[in-house]
Structure 1
Amino acid sequence: MKTIAIIPARGGSKRLPGKNSMLLGGIPLVAHSILYAQADSRIDAVYVSTDDAEIKKIAIAYGAQVIDRPQHLAGDLEPTVTALKHVLESLESKPETVVLLQPTNPLRPKNLLQNAFEIYEKGRYKNLFTVTQSHQKLGKIKEDKFIPFNYEPGQRSQDLEPLYFENGLLYICKSELILNDTIISKEAYPMLIDHPFGSVDIDTLEDFDYAVYLHKKHTL
């Protein structure tokens, strides 16, 4: 196998219990990422890493292979890279490249993965991740005072220095980096995504409701 997709989907969400099994457009959340990966011919196999029986059942039903995640790697504070590393260490044959698809980002532009692969391969990068530009006036509160971070008071939003956030839609990474506990290295290519889907990361019911709205809007 040259390239695999890994979808880390644990079952212990506290703010939105059972979110990875919730139906979005009649399809379980985790299945959106499975189907997205299966639609690209570059991906040789799709693996779901989970500690949850229901998610495992869904993953198998949609044609993914399941790697049972041990409980010590399924805690709230456990970084994603440990789940990816566990999958790679569980495989007899190590792939060259891993595509990370988070189930909490179920909506992705149709050609995103194809375009990302083209950039990744042409630039000979070891890893790539997607970002979205923030148009917010940001600051921090210290000693009950608001301290602007990226603007001067009175400055127009359109005149802000561009800042970007990691939107979680897609990651492409060499297996060797993951085995060394890295998903995003200092040399990772930040792929800019200008699409409403870049603002969807489901962690609360409000996030899920927004995803439902965008799914209906962009699939009708």
Structure 2
Amino acid sequence: MKNYLVLIPARAGSQRLPGKNMRQLGDKPLVGHSLAYAQDNGFSNMVVTSNDARVLEYAKEVGVEVIKRPDALAGNEEPVVTALQHAVDQLQKKYDAVILLQPTNPLRPEGLLNEAVSVFEQEGCDSLMTVSRSEHKLGTISNHQFIPYNYQMGQRSQDLEPLFYENGLLYIFKTELLKQGKLLGAKNYPLIVDHPFAEIDIDTEADFKKAELYLKHYTN
């Protein structure tokens, strides 16, 4: 097995859901679910990068290494890749690959992480991302007219051409890609996830309420 680093970026300053990374979801804060998930799957090399004092303190309390993220790398328009680059640059130990777990995707199928690592190694990937199939009939609007994009009017949903969306549950990528400012490489494997947890990506209060419902319904 390669030498993996689990990176969890959890910046302060969410505008739509202030303080969301430390919002209590079930028995732990949002960021705690990603930490516990990595630990439960046998990963111990974990780092939280954040400019939020509460997040950093919580991570320390549960025995996880922290990197203070500069505020200059924590703005609303700043891509997450710069925070990841900064975190890896601060570490003395070198890693073959990075596993990115975003706190905004706190619910993940139990065996997904180890499955993803196995696929990543077996396929010799540069990177791996999780995707899920979209069952929606999509279209565009032009001159107040709806124009179907992925179907024809009257077509059954089950006959749609398979289209997939990036669900954000996890990413794995070679550390060398970060030096190029990339998370996804030329040989990127899309791992299909067919699970209700793929629907959870928390940006708003409504998203958080949905996560609470799914946590209660699918884990009890």
TM-score, normalisation: structure 2: 0.96
Contact 1:5/1:47, CA 8 A, preserved across alignment: yes
Shift of 1:44: 4.1
Q: In the alignment, which residue of structure 2 is the partner of 1:209?
A: 209
Equivalence for 2:46: 46
In 1, Cα distance between the equivalents of 2:35 and 2:102?
A: 10
1:146 alignment partner in structure 2: 146
Residue 113 of structure 1 is matched in structure 2 by 113
2:173 alignment partner in structure 1: 173
CA displacement 1:88-115 (0-9 Å, x = unmatched): 1111222111000000000000000111
Corresponding residue number in structure 1 for 2:86: 86
User: Which residue identity is paired with 2:35?
Assistant: I
SS of the residue corresponding to residue 141 of structure 1 reads: strand
Counterpart contact for 1:3–1:44, Cα < 8 Å: no
Q: CA RMSD, aligned part only?
A: 1.2
Give the Cα–Cα distance (whole angstroms) in 2 for the partners of residues 38 and 178 of structure 1.
24
Which residue number corresponds to residue 102 of structure 2? 102
SS at match of 1:172: strand
Q: What is the TM-score normalised by the length of structure 1?
A: 0.96
User: Does the CA contact (< 8 Å) of 1:134 and 1:164 recur in 2?
Assistant: yes
CA distance in 2, matches of 1:138, 1:27: 37
Residues 35-88 of structure 1: CA deviation (Å, up to 9, x unaligned): 1112233x3411111011111111111221111111111011111111111111
2:16 matched residue in structure 1: 15
The amino acid of 1:160's aligned partner reads: L
Instruction: State whether residues 138 and 148 of structure 1, in contact with CA within 8 Å, keep that contact through their aligned partners in structure 2.
Output: yes
Asked whether the equivalents of residues 35 and 62 of structure 1 are also in contact (C-alpha less than 8 Å), the reply is no
Distance 1:207 1:145 in 2: 30
User: 1:35 aligned to 2:39?
Assistant: no
The runs of 5 or more residues in structure 1 that have no matched partner are: none
Point out where structure 2 has 5 or more consecutive residues left out of the alignment.
none
Give the structure 2 partner of residue 24 of structure 1.
25
For residues 186 and 150 of structure 1, the distance between their equivalents in structure 2, rounded to whole angstroms, comes to 26
Contact 2:59 2:65 in 1 (8 A): yes
Q: How many positions carry a matched residue from both structures?
A: 219
1:168-217 CA distance string (max 9 Å, x none): 00101100011211112242100000000001000001100110001001
Deviation string, structure 1 residues 118-156 (Cα, Å, up to 9, x no partner): 111111112101000000001122232222111111111
Percent identical pairs in the alignment equals: 48
